[in-house]
Chains A and B, each alone.
Chain A
Amino acid sequence: MEPIQVAGITFRLDPGKPLYEQIVDQVQGALARGDVKLNERLPSVRELAQLLKVNPNTVMRAYQDLERGGLLMTYRGQGTFITDKPQPVERLKQDLAYRAVAHLVNEMRRLGFSREQALALLQEVKWS
């Protein structure tokens, strides 16, 4: 599917994965990178469903999930906004970083690398 830009977030949905998880992941990614600002207004459930061509129930579920994580706030009659507090975003960045590192560690162990070898590789590898 073509990427769709909304409020600083780039959505690129793959029809072969749960759409709800992808929406959550992509909003989280944009928040972690700082592509979307604190207190930024997000499209309504209806608008986002129409833009992404997905079921409003899917968007609603994704928004609720993000709200539970403290990343979004919905005000009746005003709409849905990115949180205005930096703490939940910091927590999210930590979480995502831990998850990425855990994934890397697992993969390196599976391939038979020691911690020292993995660290040495990390030192060597080009970051950009």
Chain B
Amino acid sequence: MSSVLELKGIEKSFGGHPVLRQVEFALEPGKVVGLLGPNGAGKSTLLKIAVGLLMPDAGQVRVFGEPPSWQSLARIAFLPDRGHFARGLKVEAALAMAARLYDRFDRGLAEAVLKDAHLRPGTRLSELSRGQEARLHLALCVARHPELLILDEPLSGLDILSREAMVETVIGTVSDEAPAVLITTHDLDEVEGHFDEVILLQEGKVVLKAEAESLRVRYGSLRQMYKEVMQP
């Protein structure tokens, strides 16, 4: 089985300070993988490198077997930790924009997700709650029928209902289309049942990569695993 995403020997420094050191892992089709680690471990940098938004100083990135390019980007949906949309835009304009940008954009699917979130097309983005905004961004991601879905802290700062709704949308997408999913999160309680595999990043290095089910047996829970492995 060929990997959806393959990273080899990735190195990245900012201003002489190493952020990623010899990072290697592969993501298989249909797997949901949690990329965990404390703030500043390099998770977001790694995701940006994976989708080609940042160049590594050394190492190799392969997405669907090729270096990242605009062709591979069309098959990836990336939810950054902070969304950037013009605040004056209306929801429907955001949808129209996405539909123009992306060939495979499924407007019906996006609208269904938004309807669940009680998001009306005429609402301005500046009037959205944080939870609604997050769900708009997620709707735009899943409606592209991505083969690789990358979510950077999708639940942070959201209330419990929005968090549950976000998780439900992701489960729905995984059930229906089985994309590979890479998620960074600190909200382990909500998502620990969803990972096939877990990668732990600490100070820019992969310190653990294992199947979630075996970690549950070894540590009692992923939360416990995180605590034990991250102990200084």
Interface size on A, residues (CB 8 A): 19
* A14-52 with Cβ < 8 A to chain B: 15-20, 44-46, 49-50, 52
Contact in complex: B216, A55 (CB < 8 Å) = no
A52 to B194, CA, bound (A): 10
A19 to B30, CA, bound (A): 18
Residue among A16, A20, A52 making CB contact with B221, cutoff 8 Å: A16
Instruction: For A53, list chain B residues within 8 Å (CB).
Output: 167, 190, 193-194
Contact in complex: A20, B213 (CB < 8 Å) = yes
Q: Does B192 contact A (CB under 8 A)?
A: yes
A49 to B32, CA, bound (A): 13
Contact in complex: B32, A15 (CB < 8 Å) = no
The 8 A CB mask of A55-71 against B (1 = contact, 0 = none) is 11110000000000000
A53 to B190, CA, bound (A): 8
* A47-104 with Cβ < 8 A to chain B: 49-50, 52-58
Q: Looking at the assembled complex, report how far the CB atom of A41 sits from the nearest CB atom of chain B, in whole angstroms.
A: 17
The 8 A CB mask of B161-174 against A (1 = contact, 0 = none) is 00000011001101
Q: Does B196 contact A (CB under 8 A)?
A: yes
A49 to B168, CA, bound (A): 9
Counted as pairs of residues, one from A and one from B, with CB atoms less than 8 Å apart, the total is: 62
Q: Does A13 contact B (CB under 8 A)?
A: yes
Q: Looking at the assembled complex, report how far the CB atom of B112 sits from the nearest CB atom of chain A, in whole angstroms.
A: 14
A56 to B173, CA, bound (A): 10
Contact in complex: A19, B193 (CB < 8 Å) = yes
Q: Does B195 contact A (CB under 8 A)?
A: yes
Contact in complex: B32, A57 (CB < 8 Å) = yes
Contact in complex: A16, B220 (CB < 8 Å) = yes
Closest to A17 in B: B216
Q: In the complex, which of the residues A16, A49, A54 has the most CB atoms of chain B within 10 Å of its own CB atom?
A: A16
Instruction: For B221, list chain A residues within 8 Å (CB).
Output: 15-16
Contact in complex: B31, A57 (CB < 8 Å) = yes
A56 to B167, CA, bound (A): 12
Q: Contacts A15-B216, A17-B216, A19-B216 hold; do A55 and B172 have CB atoms under 8 A apart?
A: no
Q: Looking at the assembled complex, report how far the CB atom of A115 sits from the nearest CB atom of chain B, in whole angstroms.
A: 33
* B99-117 with Cβ < 8 A to chain A: none
A109 to B173, CA, bound (A): 51
Contact in complex: A50, B213 (CB < 8 Å) = no
Contact in complex: A15, B194 (CB < 8 Å) = no
Closest to B190 in A: A53
* B188-232 with Cβ < 8 A to chain A: 190, 192-196, 213-214, 216-217, 219-224
Q: Does B2 contact A (CB under 8 A)?
A: no
Q: Does B39 contact A (CB under 8 A)?
A: no
23 cross-chain CB contacts under 8 A: A13-B193, A15-B216, A15-B220, A15-B222, A16-B216, A16-B217, A16-B224, A19-B213, A19-B216, A49-B171, A50-B171, A50-B172, A52-B193, A53-B167, A53-B190, A53-B194, A54-B194, A55-B32, A55-B193, A55-B196, A57-B31, A58-B193, A58-B196
Interface residues of A (CB under 8 A from B): 13, 15-20, 44-46, 49-50, 52-58
